[in-house]
């Protein structure tokens, strides 16, 4: 069964079983600052699990199904084996207080056995056996006994059979997994060879999560208002089984891409085992890069953009040299997914040109020669008052040195290792996290107005920044009024001279659009609207329609600034008291800042 058919079967089955079908949300979660990327189908429905939004009112249904594109960096080191990937699709069904364990298990079982005709002798299941004050999930064990022999229903602890939340806080609960027995043969462990055995006999297929709890930032577990269901079935793994392949890369979701990569003259010999692994890593990461770019992530050294840079450069690291045929790669991904994700086709040219630019940037990095790096490191060691090392021993780096090389020259940790350098991975990762935190704080400072404390600015400058800041809020709302709700903030910077605002939008603004936006802002200024501040819970604020800079991580309690009834936005302030104080507003430039992102600069007088 090809993968288009599998998706279709899943959707039709759940439609027949009274589920409303929802489109996949973006890989870049637009209204959930607790995570960088979408890792599960449940994410776009989080407020419904938490009882914050009413599914009947907002979704006109309490039972939902979707095919969600997901991206997980947690498995990145495993990519190259038979079953792991970073980008994948999750088939999921969700219930917000509608049905629970009994029905969820029945639905899953019947789909596999009756609809897909999978032989039940290959299926095993797991349940939560209790841990640290959390009760054994005896109900689930009992329900499974209606379908499967007791010795194939195995209990595990929290590590295996508890899911969520994605991020630090949110809904979570005990889970039950359906595993497929690939070989029917126990490994040398004999009877101890069961689901979750590392021997490769079992593959986890479907995770049924019984979302009963919410965990807050202090780690306290509270019962959710309702018992919910969140399930996730991995499309690539299901395709592997239904298409009788030995690994996910041989399914129709990967086959063409892997072949494209192997045919590329800059790749190795497809028969060599090492090269097989390299072709899989390249295929997975190239596909992930295409999908991230299609969801408007752009290359950078921070957050989502850093993930994109890392996987794309890691894909390139698999090639023998850098004459990679990116056009064939993008073509292949678009061809495979065009029916399910037509947005890829629309963005194809943008994706290709972003990849090409990043490839060129990386080529420059790769041209840096080893000797030059060694001498730079030595200089660095000298600067930090450590003895300069000579010869091969200088290839032993501290994590800090590796990080400086990475952040200054863009040489990825993988490349650095390939060039024979060694350093401590864990400390390196910690530095990356610290770096991300710092850049986040800088953004907060600039935009939250704390930049006002800068010593270089006079009182007059500060007043100007405050006026520009309120004008930015009006501009944000006016952009959405004129260009549509897909306009989303991507960044902002204010100095006494001007404001700068980056936002997601694919086309150049026409003169007419710019004029309209300018008119709206000036109109709102003239109306002398009061600017007010309210403290709210983050989720209540979003529910209330407040705009947020979704790349930002917000605390649980936030400030919401409103300009009359016109604009409402999460922000640290400060702002003017009345829009009339802004003066007159003018757009001085509008241009592209990166692929799919426009940049406006404006002044106030
Ligand atoms: N959220 C669960 C998972 O990602 C089930 O969908 O495995």
93 in ligand 1 pocket by Cβ < 6 Å? Answer: no
Percent of the chain with pLDDT over 90: 62
Q: How far is the CA of 110 from the centre of ligand 1 (A)?
A: 19
**Mean per-residue pLDDT over the chain, rounded:** 88
Nearest alpha carbon, ligand 1 atom 6:
232
Q: What is the DSSP letter of 25?
A: -
Distance CA 121, CA 417 (A): 46
> Does 501 score more than 70 pLDDT?
yes
40 in ligand 1 pocket by Cβ < 6 Å? Answer: yes
> Does 133 score more than 90 pLDDT?
no
178 in ligand 1 pocket by Cβ < 6 Å? Answer: no
At residue 490, the pLDDT reads 82
3-state secondary structure of 565: coil
Question: Each residue of 98-112: pLDDT tens digit?
Answer: 999 999 999 999 999
Question: Each residue of 165-197: pLDDT tens digit?
Answer: 887 788 999 999 999 999 999 999 999 999 999
At residue 384, the pLDDT reads 53
- Using alpha carbons, select from 34, 91, 492, 87 the residue that is nearest to residue 295: 87
At residue 506, the pLDDT reads 82
Distance CA 216, CA 218 (A): 5
104 in ligand 1 pocket by Cβ < 6 Å? Answer: no
Give yes or no for a contact between 520 and 478, defined as CB atoms under 8 angstroms apart: yes
> Does 278 score more than 70 pLDDT?
yes
228 in ligand 1 pocket by Cβ < 6 Å? Answer: no
Distance CA 325, CA 262 (A): 11
Tokens of 377: 């490191």
At residue 381, the pLDDT reads 64
Evaluated on CA atoms 86, 87, 89, 95, the torsion sign reads positive
At residue 437, the pLDDT reads 60
- CA separation, residue 572 to residues 271, 382, 469, 476, 541 (Å): 58, 42, 11, 16, 14
- CA separation, residue 329 to residues 26, 239, 251, 315 (Å): 22, 21, 17, 12
Q: How far is the CA of 208 from the centre of ligand 1 (A)?
A: 7
Give yes or no for a contact between 536 and 557, defined as CB atoms under 8 angstroms apart: yes
The DSSP element (H or E) to which 533 belongs, if any, is strand 531-537
Q: Which of 14, 22, 163, 203 to mutate to test the pocket of ligand 1 (most atoms within 8 A of CB)?
A: 163
> Does 496 score more than 90 pLDDT?
no
Question: Each residue of 44-78: pLDDT tens digit?
Answer: 999 899 888 899 999 999 999 999 999 998 888 88
Point out which residues pair with 556 in neighbouring strands.
Answer: none
Q: How far is the CA of 46 from the centre of ligand 1 (A)?
A: 12
At residue 159, the pLDDT reads 93
229 in ligand 1 pocket by Cβ < 6 Å? Answer: no
- 489 vs 325, residue with greater confidence: 325
Q: How far is the CA of 211 from the centre of ligand 1 (A)?
A: 10
- Walk me through the domains of the chain, giving residue ranges and CATH numbers: 3-249 (3.30.930.10), 254-366 (no CATH), 370-446 (no CATH), 459-604 (3.30.980.10)
> Does 449 score more than 90 pLDDT?
no
- 550 vs 274, residue with greater confidence: 274
At residue 441, the pLDDT reads 45
Question: Each residue of 515-570: pLDDT tens digit?
Answer: 999 999 999 999 999 999 998 887 788 778 888 775 566 667 788 999 999 999 98
Question: Each residue of 566-582: pLDDT tens digit?
Answer: 999 988 888 999 999 99
- 113 vs 408, residue with greater confidence: 113
Residue ranges in 384-458 assigned as alpha helix (H) = 399-409, 413-418, 425-447
Q: Which atom of ligand 1 is nearest to the CA of 208?
A: 5
Question: Each residue of 369-410: pLDDT tens digit?
Answer: 666 776 766 776 666 554 444 444 567 888 887 887 777 666
Report the alpha-carbon angle 190-195-201, nearest 5: 65
> Does 91 score more than 90 pLDDT?
yes
230 in ligand 1 pocket by Cβ < 6 Å? Answer: yes
Tokens of 25: 């949300």
For the chain, how far is it from start to end, CA to CA, in angstroms? 65
232 in ligand 1 pocket by Cβ < 6 Å? Answer: yes
Query: pTM (2 decimals)?
Result: 0.71
At residue 395, the pLDDT reads 74
Cβ neighbours of 212 (radius 10 Å)? 19
């Amino acid at each position: 069964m090809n993968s288009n058919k599998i998706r279709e079967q899943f959707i039709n089955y759940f439609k027949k079983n009274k589920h409303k079908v929802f489109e996949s949300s973006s890989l870049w979660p637009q209204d959930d600052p607790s995570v960088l990327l979408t890792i599960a189908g449940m994410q776009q429905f989080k407020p419904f699990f938490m009882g914050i939004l009413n599914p009947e009112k907002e979704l006109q249904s309490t039972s939902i199904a979707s095919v969600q594109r997901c991206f997980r960096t947690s498995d990145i080191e495993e990519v190259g084996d038979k079953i792991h990937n970073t980008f994948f699709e999750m088939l999921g069904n969700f219930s917000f207080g509608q049905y629970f364990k009994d029905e969820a298990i029945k639905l899953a079982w019947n789909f596999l056995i009756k609809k897909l005709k999978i032989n039940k002798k290959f299926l095993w299941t797991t349940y939560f056996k209790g841990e640290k004050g959390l009760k054994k999930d005896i109900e689930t064990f009992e329900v499974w006994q209606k379908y499967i022999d007791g010795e194939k229903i195995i209990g595990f602890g929290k590590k295996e059979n508890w899911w969520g939340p994605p991020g630090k806080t949110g809904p979570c609960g005990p889970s039950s997994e359906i595993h497929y027995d690939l070989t029917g043969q126990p490994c040398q462990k004999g009877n101890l060879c069961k689901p979750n055995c590392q021997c490769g006999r079992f593959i986890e297929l479907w995770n049924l999560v019984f979302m009963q709890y919410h965990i807050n930032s202090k780690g306290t577990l509270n019962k959710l208002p309702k018992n919910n269901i969140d399930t996730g079935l991995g499309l690539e793994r299901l395709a592997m089984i239904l298409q009788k392949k030995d690994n996910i890369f041989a399914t129709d979701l990967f086959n063409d891409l892997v072949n494209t990569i192997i045919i590329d003259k800059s790749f190795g010999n497809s028969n060599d085992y090492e090269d097989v692994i390299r072709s899989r890593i390249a295929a997975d990461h190239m596909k992930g890069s295409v999908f991230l770019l299609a969801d408007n992530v752009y290359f950078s050294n921070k957050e989502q953009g850093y993930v994109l840079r890392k996987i794309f450069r890691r894909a390139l690291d698999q090639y023998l040299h850098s004459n990679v045929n990116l056009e064939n790669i993008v073509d292949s991904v678009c061809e495979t997914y065009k029916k399910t994700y037509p947005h890829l086709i629309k963005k194809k040219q943008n994706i290709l040109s972003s990849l090409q630019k990043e490839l060129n940037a990386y080529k420059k990095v790769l041209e840096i020669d080893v000797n030059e790096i060694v001498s730079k490191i030595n200089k660095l060691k000298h600067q930090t008052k450590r003895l300069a090392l000579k010869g091969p021993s200088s290839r032993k780096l501290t994590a800090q040195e590796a990080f400086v090389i990475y952040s200054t020259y863009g040489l990825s940790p993988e490349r650095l290792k390939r060039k024979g350098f060694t350093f401590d991975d864990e400390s390196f990762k910690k530095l990356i996290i610290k770096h991300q935190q710092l850049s986040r704080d800088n953004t907060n400072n600039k935009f939250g107005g704390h930049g006002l404390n800068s010593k270089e600015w006079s009182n007059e400058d500060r007043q100007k920044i405050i006026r520009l800041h309120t004008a930015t809020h009006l501009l944000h709302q006016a952009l959405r009024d004129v260009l549509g709700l897909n306009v989303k903030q991507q960044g902002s910077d204010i100095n006494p001279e001007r404001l700068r605002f980056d936002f997601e939008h694919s086309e150049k603004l026409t003169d007419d659009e710019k004029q309209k936006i300018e008119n709206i802002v000036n109109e709102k200024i003239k109306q002398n609207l009061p600017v007010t501040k309210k403290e709210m819970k983050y989720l209540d604020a979003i529910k209330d329609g407040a705009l947020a800079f979704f790349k930002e991580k917000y605390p649980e309690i936030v400030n919401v600034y409103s300009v009359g009834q016109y604009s409402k936005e999460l922000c640290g302030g400060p702002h003017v008291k009345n829009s009339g104080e802004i003066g007159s507003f003018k757009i001085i430039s509008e241009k592209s800042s990166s692929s799919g992102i426009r940049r406006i600069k404006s002044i106030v007088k």
